[in-house]
């Protein structure tokens, strides 16, 4: 494709240049011919006047002709192209001519290869002077061939230069194509050398490099996601296989069968929970930007989630409290409910007996914040930056104990980011953790402040 583009560019360049050279060469030859013919006409006009002035009519229709020495030398030169003159009377009778052997027609009927000019003289006589211009035509043909050869040489050099320049101009495109092929072949680290790219294509190369970076990140995330999902599903599947093989290995008591089925049910529930959370992540990440958004009163939504989780908190001896001002965001109420539920549930599950979870809401300008502060076990400093990664668990043993999949906080952050916000975490081991959610707010009439159940 690149070579065909290069050929097309050079061919178009050559075609335009050939047209320019042809027009220029034709103009040069034509102007040269006009200049020579104008000089011949001027020369003939001068000598025609000399002949007409030297002609004197006498009686009986006769004429006397006394040529000046300059005119005689012009018409009767011994060598080279010899001009000629012919004189006719009023009746068309031949009066005189310089070359008796030369056949000359009447004025206006010049033979091919001659240039003639006629004037009226005294007594009604007609004077015609002329000369052979074959030598001028030969010079003109020689000039034409010189122009053609010069044009061909110029065109050849220009085509060679155009081929070279086109190759240089298309070299960045070749590098871009080579990088794209390398990416397609699996080299996700391949990048376009922006510093060796022409300035006009530098922005394109930079944009493509950014796209390649995003593609590599997406592929790496997909690979990591598949690896993590496979790892997470491997455990419950192994449990299911082990329990069923143990139960079918030999005859068991009813209680043993019941215990094995209970283990299989817990493993199935765990796989179901992982699958459902993965589907939630996919739905959030692939949601259309054009989806319909509704006004969501967040304080009411927080109260609703806290009421829903109150039995869990009471069972674990954790106190829940909500304070702050109401505010409205534009978004998907069910997604925001699930995100809040994941964060608050996490604060309850990893809390201490007798601990608390304090939830506060406040609005500053067009940005609202929801702070969820717990008095739980806390998160080590090296793990704080990873709490929103998929399948990441600080304490895997405790996570299995409480049934965590490591996807809750990742889902929450994905939902908040999709709504134009974010969530951050600070924590101190043994003291507790604080999650701060920021969301853009909207101002709508009170009649639109509704939330779907």
Q: How confident is the model at residue 448 (pLDDT cuts 50, 70, 90)?
A: very low
User: Is 3's pLDDT higher than 80?
Assistant: no
**Angle made by CA atoms 128, 131, 135, in degrees to the nearest 5:** 165
Burial 66-94 (b: 16+ CB within 10 A, else e): ebeeebeebbeeeeeeebbbbbbbeeeee
Please state, as a whole number, how many other Cβ atoms lie within 10 Å of the Cβ of residue 250.
6
- With a cut of 50, say whether residue 437 has pLDDT above it: yes
Higher pLDDT, 369 or 110: 369
pLDDT of 40-62, one tens digit each?
Answer: 999 999 999 999 998 888 877 78
Say which CATH architecture domain 196-283 belongs to.
Orthogonal Bundle (1.10)
Question: Any idea which residue has 């739980």 for tokens?
Answer: 376
Which pairing describes strands 356-364 and 319-324: parallel, antiparallel, or unpaired?
A: parallel
> How far apart, in Å, are the Cα atoms of 135 and each of 32, 36, 81, 115, 147?
14, 11, 8, 12, 18
pTM: 0.50
What is the CB-side half-sphere exposure of residue 218 using CA atoms within 13 A?
A: 7
- Of 60, 121, 116, 50, nearest to 83 by C-alpha is 116
pLDDT, tens only, 281-298: 667 766 645 456 789 999
Whole-angstrom distance, CA of residue 148 vs CA of residue 29: 10
Q: What are phi and psi of 100, to 5 degrees?
A: -65, -25
Take residue 188 and report the two structure tokens written for it.
């996700």
Which whole number is the average pLDDT over 113-125?
89
Instruction: State what percent of residues in the chain have pLDDT above 70.
Output: 87
pLDDT score for 34: 93
Q: Which of 31, 34, 49 is nearest to 117 (CA)?
A: 49
With 0-12 / 13-18 / 19 or more C-beta atoms within 10 angstroms meaning exposed / middle / buried, residue 412 is buried
Residue 82 is given by DSSP the state P
Pairwise CA distance, residues 128 & 125, whole Å: 10
Question: Rounded to an integer, what distance in angstroms lies between the CA atom of residue 181 and that of residue 183?
Answer: 5
Bridge partners, residue 424, by sequence: 436
Task: Tell me how far apart the alpha carbons of residues 430 and 425 are, in angstroms, rounded to a whole number.
Answer: 15
Q: Into which CATH architecture does domain 292-448 fall?
A: 2-Layer Sandwich (3.30)
Burial classification of residue 65, based on how many CB atoms lie within 10 Å of its CB (0-12 exposed, 13-18 middle, 19 or more buried)? middle
d(CA 239, CA 88): 131
Phi, psi (rounded to 5 degrees) for 387: -65, -20
pLDDT at 195: 61
Domain ranges, ordered by start, for the chain = 2-136, 196-283, 292-448
Q: How far is the first Cα of the chain from the last one, in angstroms, to the nearest whole number?
A: 58
Per-residue confidence band for 211, with pLDDT thresholds at 50, 70 and 90? confident
The 3-state DSSP composition of the chain as helix, strand, coil percent (nearest 5) reads 60, 15, 25
Q: Give the chain's mean pLDDT.
A: 82
Question: Of 297, 340, 275, 13, which is closest to residue 164 (Cα–Cα)?
Answer: 13
Q: What is the pLDDT of residue 30?
A: 92
Task: Report the DSSP beta bridge partners of residue 296.
Answer: 329
- Answer yes or no: is pLDDT of 400 > 70: no
Q: What percent of the chain has pLDDT over 90?
A: 28
Lowest mean pLDDT among 99-108, 270-279, 327-336, 384-393: 270-279
Residue 348: the pLDDT is: 92
According to the model, what pLDDT value does residue 19 have?
A: 92
64-88 pLDDT, tens digit each: 888 888 888 888 887 777 899 999 8
For residue 98 the two structure tokens come to 């310089």
């Amino acid at each position: 494709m690149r070579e065909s583009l290069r050929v097309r560019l050079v061919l178009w360049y050559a075609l335009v240049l050939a047209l320019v050279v042809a027009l220029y060469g034709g103009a040069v030859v034509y102007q040269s011919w006009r200049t020579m013919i104008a000089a011949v006409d001027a020369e003939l006009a001068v000598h025609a006047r000399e002949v007409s002035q030297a002609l004197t009519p006498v009686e009986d229709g006769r004429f006397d002709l006394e040529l000046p020495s300059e005119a005689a030398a012009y018409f009767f030169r011994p060598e080279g192209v010899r001009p000629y003159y012919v004189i006719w009377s009023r009746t068309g009778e031949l009066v005189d001519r310089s070359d008796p052997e030369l056949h000359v027609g009447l004025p206006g009927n010049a033979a091919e290869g001659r240039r003639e000019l006629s004037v009226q003289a005294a007594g009604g006589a007609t004077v015609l002077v002329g000369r052979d211009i074959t030598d001028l035509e030969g010079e003109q043909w020689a000039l034409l061939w010189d122009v053609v050869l010069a044009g061909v040489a110029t065109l050849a050099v220009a085509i060679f230069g155009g081929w070279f320049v086109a190759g240089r101009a298309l070299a960045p495109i070749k590098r871009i194509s080579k990088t794209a092929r390398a990416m397609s072949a699996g080299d996700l680290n391949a990048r376009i050398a922006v510093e060796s790219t022409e300035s006009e294509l530098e922005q394109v190369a930079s944009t493509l490099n950014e796209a390649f970076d995003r593609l590599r990140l997406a592929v790496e995330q997909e690979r990591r996601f598949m690896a993590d999902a496979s790892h997470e599903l491997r455990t419950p599947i192994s449990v299911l296989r082990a329990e069923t093989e143990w139960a079918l290995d030999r005859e068991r008591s009813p209680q043993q069968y019941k215990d094995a089925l209970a283990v299989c049910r817990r493993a199935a529930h765990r796989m179901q929970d992982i699958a459902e959370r993965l589907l939630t992540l996919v739905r959030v990440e692939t949601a259309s930007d054009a989806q319909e958004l509704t006004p969501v009163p967040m304080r009411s939504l927080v109260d609703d989630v806290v009421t829903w989780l109150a039995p869990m908190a009471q069972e674990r001896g954790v106190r829940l409290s909500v304070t702050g001002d109401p505010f409205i965001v534009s978004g998907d109420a069910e997604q925001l409910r699930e995100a809040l539920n994941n964060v608050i549930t996490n604060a309850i599950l990893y809390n201490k007996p007798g601990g608390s979870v304090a939830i506060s809401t406040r609005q500053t300008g067009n940005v609202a914040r929801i702070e969820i502060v717990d008095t739980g076990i806390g998160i080590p400093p090296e793990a704080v930056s990873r709490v929103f990664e998929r399948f990441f668990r600080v304490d895997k043993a405790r996570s299995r104990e409480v049934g965590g999949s490591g996807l809750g906080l990742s889902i929450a952050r994905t939902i908040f980011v999709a709504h134009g916000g974010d969530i951050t975490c600070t924590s101190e081991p043994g003291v507790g953790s604080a999650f701060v959610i920021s969301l853009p707010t909207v101002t709508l009439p009170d009649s639109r402040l509704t939330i779907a159940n």
